[in-house]
Structure 1
Amino acid sequence: MMTTATEGRPKSKFNALTIVYSGMFAALMMIGANITSFVPFLVIGGVPITLQAFFAVLSGLLLGSRIGALSITVYMLVGLAGAPVFAKFQGGFGQILSPTFGFVVAFILTAYVAGKFVERKNTLPTYIIAALVATAINYLVGTNWMYLAYKFWAVAPEIFTYKIAWLWMVPPLPKDIILAVLAGIFAFRISKHLKVRRTF
């Protein structure tokens, strides 16, 4: 009896659908970073209110910890390679010295943590808690990176302090909390219809 060439081979962890979803979320991060170009009123006090945190959380909830983090890593690498995908259409390896680059790095951890939560328990409260915890981690890592950047290699205002660094995060905080809850609800509902493997 003849067998096909693929019989007996282990299935790849990265199927075509996973690759499509990963590319989609990398693209959504690019759009979310520059949403203020299309909706100018989302700039408060000169600070652009982006949707990157929302999409980073959503990628982890829907794609799982590893694939979600991979999607955001792809986004970061594309930006460092020179594509204008970061906030204000910026890009290039020099962005690594930007005080706000810590948030980009934190998005990877955000997706990973969100994914880890829902991989262990698949309930609506878990999805919402995962989104809120991941958002908190994003703020913690990003804000501390920004503070250290202004203290050691970036030009900061003379009155700049650790407290001021956190006060700068107040304007986008309510938006990100609301979006985190919505991401949890949306991901819980849509995960039942998407054939996404979270156990990679």
Structure 2
Amino acid sequence: MKKLRALDITLVGMFVALTAIGANITSIAPFLHVGGVPITLQTFFAVLAGLILGSRIGAIAMIVYMLVGLVGVPVFAGFSGGLRIIFSPTFGFIVSFIFVAFIIGKIIERKTSLSAYITAALIGMAVNYLFGTNWMYFTFKLWAAAPAGFTYKMAWLWMIPPLPKDIILSILAGVLAHRLEKTVLSKGQFKNVKRAS
């Protein structure tokens, strides 16, 4: 297990903070609703963590984000936190951020073209939806109070409204991260951040 450098720790802390802000962006800027759907940025920053930090550091950043919230710091949506979140139907989306960052990081550590960045971002978003939606379904079926007539199909229908937003933000994350890789991240102390993962 490689030691974390001071830069790595700083970047982990930055992405924990950004993901917390992304979870509550509509509380800070209530106008960020499109057709009644809140534009949250948690998935966006989880995707960016994998794209910018790579598989190891990106996953660590998302693990730290989850643990910070579980110990009670209000970093989750609605400025919530604490162990009770584990039993929430949406906790699977938080867990998925770890896999999102890791898988995306692995993809772009092998190929660094713009198309690879965008593809990796979209794959990460798909992982978020697959893991989170299935967690939500089984949570409702096993212990949470499910709505009347709740089905697996209904769980996926709930995911349709935020889907266009997440596709657009994932593509944007891929373009932004690729641009940063070719400019800021390829110079100075940032050079080979992902390779150090």
- CA drift of 1:87 comes to 0.5
Aligned partner of 1:78 in structure 2 is 68
- CA drift of 1:41 comes to 3.8
Residue by residue over 1:10-39, the C-alpha shift from the partner in whole angstroms, topping out at 9 and shown as x without a partner, is: xx6421111111110010010000011022
Aligned partner of 2:193 in structure 1 is 197
The residue type paired with residue 197 of structure 1 is V
Q: Is the 8 A contact 1:69 1:108 kept in 2?
A: yes
Aligned partner of 1:26 in structure 2 is 16
Aligned partner of 1:9 in structure 2 is none
Larger Rg: 1 or 2? 1
> In the aligned structure 2, how far is the partner of 1:49 from the partner of 1:102?
19
Aligned partner of 1:6 in structure 2 is none
- Corresponding position: 1:65 with 2:61: no
Match of 2:91 among 96, 101, 118: 101
- CA drift of 1:198 comes to 1.5
- Corresponding position: 1:166 with 2:156: yes
The residue type paired with residue 30 of structure 1 is A
Match of 1:150 among 117, 136, 140: 140
The residue type paired with residue 34 of structure 1 is N
Aligned partner of 1:37 in structure 2 is 27
Compare 107-116 and 36-45 and name the one that shifted more. 36-45
Structure 2: segments with no counterpart, 5+ residues: none
> In the aligned structure 2, how far is the partner of 1:188 from the partner of 1:173?
23
How high is the sequence identity, in percent, across the aligned residues? 62
1:44–1:144 Cα change, 3 Å? farther
Aligned partner of 2:82 in structure 1 is 92
Compare 190-199 and 127-136 and name the one that shifted more. 190-199
Q: Is the 8 A contact 1:44 1:171 kept in 2?
A: no
> In the aligned structure 2, how far is the partner of 1:188 from the partner of 1:67?
17
> In the aligned structure 1, how far is the partner of 2:49 from the partner of 2:178?
12
- CA drift of 1:158 comes to 1.2
The residue type paired with residue 57 of structure 1 is V
- CA drift of 1:46 comes to 7.1
> What TM-score do you get using the length of structure 2 for normalisation?
0.91
> In the aligned structure 2, how far is the partner of 1:41 from the partner of 1:103?
24
- CA drift of 1:151 comes to 0.4
The residue type paired with residue 156 of structure 1 is A
- CA drift of 1:43 comes to 4.8
Secondary structure at the residue paired with 1:170? coil
Secondary structure at the residue paired with 2:153? helix
1:44–1:185 Cα change, 3 Å? closer
Compare 113-122 and 42-51 and name the one that shifted more. 42-51
- CA drift of 1:106 comes to 0.3
Aligned partner of 1:3 in structure 2 is none
The residue type paired with residue 140 of structure 2 is Y
Residue by residue over 1:169-190, the C-alpha shift from the partner in whole angstroms, topping out at 9 and shown as x without a partner, is: 1111000000000000000010
